[in-house]
Structure 1
Amino acid sequence: MDRRTLIAGLGALAALPGRAAAQAADAYAFGFDRPGSGRLALSDYRGRPILVVNTATRCGYAGQMATLEQLWQRYQPRGLMLVAVPSNDFGGQEPLEGAAIAEAARESYGATYAFVEKTVVKGPQAHPFYRWAAAQKPAETPRWNFHKYLIGSHGELVGGYPAGTDPLSPQLVRAIGQELQAG
């Protein structure tokens, strides 16, 4: 391949960030900005199941933050990682910014799991992780706040669980348990 063809190909790839995200092999290719500074890299949790939940403090499902805390307390010692991804995509229900989101979740629901910066989770401007997940399981994309994605202990997308799925539901708890055993 000549240099010109290579440069043209790289330029085309750079122009299509959604396609590159969709083609990532596993979830470990992604990370999220933390409030203030720093990055939460999913690769830091390699070998562990990761539950990624898009949240909103003013959502009717916000009470799930307390149930997510129960799930976190029960399974974090065994290896589960839980990441809250605040989003304002559905009904404008996340008016807060940065560290204020995690602080509100702590005060109202006792949430101690990781929160990242407010993030777009749907559509062409979605975070690369969410574009990858949508490409992996198109029928299981977020349709409202508190959609849950379970990443397996090998970085694969195990499944998506809609907003109405209680964090302690038998199907989600069973899937987490299977991944904890697989890790």
Structure 2
Amino acid sequence: MSIFDFKVKTSSGLTTSLEKYKGKVLLIVNTATKCGFTPQLTDLQKLQEHYGEKGLQILAFPSNQFAEQEPLQDGEIAEFCALNHGVHFPIFKKIDVRDDDAHPLFTYLTGQKPFEGFNMSHPVSNLLMSILNERYPHYLFGDSIKWNFTKFLVDREGNVVNRFESTTEPFEMESSIQALL
């Protein structure tokens, strides 16, 4: 099985296969528009613009599972991201990315690359850990998605190569992306 075996829904509700991205380097991100990490959308778009012609494709999957930080509807999410962050990469239908109702794509991704911890030098890492410990301690167990803006880097053959947590800024992944292009 590879990433290309999964089907997902576009923000308009149409089913599409990730096979259409075969041959591309993918960066798959779970997003939210009302999160402290939302400004990462701007830098993700900059990465897309800089490396898109070389084969990078960023794919965003909004989720409302983390402190209800994605209250918008699917069409509103794409509009918000475009107007506020210049985003032009695909934003798919809002989904669950953890627990019993997690989309199979994210179950697969977390099964391929386990959680290895947060970058504790990030300015909001202590706040994030405090929120998780106080409100969502069960999120800290296992390899599931811990918060918004977890990023998975996938090579051109569909292999999950790296996992970057929300405390990893987009440009911190640049050398890993370049190595796959």
Give the TM bin, normalised by the shorter chain.
Answer: 0.7 to 0.9
Q: Which residue of 2 aligns with 1:54?
A: 30
Are residue 30 (structure 1) and residue 9 (structure 2) matched? no
Name the SS of the counterpart of 1:85 in structure 2: strand
Tell me the residue number matched to 1:17. Answer: none
Residue 176 of structure 1: aligned partner: 177
CA contact (8 A) 1:40 1:116 kept: no
Q: Give the whole-Å Cα distance in 1 for the aligned partners of 2:70 and 2:94.
A: 8
In the alignment, is the contact (CA less than 8 A) between 2:6 and 2:105 conserved in 1? yes
RMSD: 1.2
Matched, 1:116 2:92: yes
Q: How does 1:37-116 map to 2 (within 5 A)?
A: 37-116=13-92
Q: CA separation in 2, counterparts of 1:136 and 1:69?
A: 25
Please give the TM-score of this superposition, normalised by the length of structure 2: 0.81
Distance 2:158 2:20 in 1: 11
1:4-19 aligned within 5 A = none
Identity %: 33
Structure with max Cα Rg:
1
Q: Residue in 2 aligned with 1:163?
A: 166
Alpha-carbon deviations, 1:49-103, whole Å to 9, x = none? 1100000000011100111110110011111111010000111000011111010
Tell me the amino acid that sits aligned with residue 109 of structure 1: H
SS at match of 1:50: strand
TM-score (structure 1 length as normaliser) = 0.81
Q: Distance in 2 between matches of 1:178 and 1:71?
A: 14
Aligned equivalents of 2:44, 2:110: Cα separation in 1: 23
1:142 Cα deviation from its structure 2 partner: 2.0
Q: Secondary structure at the match of 1:54?
A: strand
Which residue identity is paired with 1:151? V
Residue 138 of structure 1 aligns to a residue whose secondary structure is coil
- Provide structure 1 residue ranges, at least 5 long, that are not aligned to the other structure: 1-24
